[in-house]
Amino acid sequence: MKKVDRRSALTIGLAAAASAVFVTEHATAQPSTAGAGKEIAPGVRQVDFGKRASMIPAYKNVSMRDVVYQPKAKTSNPGMKNDMVCHCAQGELRIKQGPGMEFVAKKGDVWSCNKGLPEDTENIGRGVSIMRVIDFDLA
């Protein structure tokens, strides 16, 4: 084993400190503001961010939106209009996608939904919950 001198120890220490900064300071999307978007259900607002042509051959467009749930607010969708990927950006959401398909999404969780799938969503946390949705549109 090699002996570690002061210069090597300092270099290793600086490298470790620098890597800790990069690991802890990662990019995060800013949540939507309280009054932004349109109300789609009592205590639930949808904030649309944009739409663009898709590079994925099966889809014509891709778009992104936030669905902001106040505490205890909920929505019910009898069938998704398109395929999508969802992300719990903040809070806790109970997701029911039919019999035997229930889970709790916490901050950072991601899931997918296919066209026609039912989904009931409820904010079960104490604060505001945000579901970020990326929609894949066929038309």
pLDDT digits (tens, 9 = 90+) for 4-41: 555 544 445 444 444 444 444 444 555 555 567 999 99
Mean pLDDT to the nearest integer, 82-105: 96
Residue with tokens 């300071």: 25
Are 62 and 138 in contact by the 8 Å Cβ rule? The answer is no
Amino acid at 107: K
pLDDT for position 36: 79
| Amino acid identity at 119 | E
Specify the 3-state DSSP secondary structure of 127. coil
Contact 94, 124 (CB under 8 A): yes
Residue 82's pLDDT is 96
Instruction: Give residue-wise pLDDT tens across range 109-132.
Output: 999 999 999 999 999 999 999 999
Give phi and psi for 43, each to the nearest 5: 80, 10
Q: What is the mean pLDDT of residues 83-105?
A: 96
Domains (range + CATH), the chain: 38-137 (2.60.120.10)
Q: Which amino acid is at 138?
A: L
- The amino acid occupying position 100 is G
- Checking if the pLDDT of 69 tops 50, the result is yes
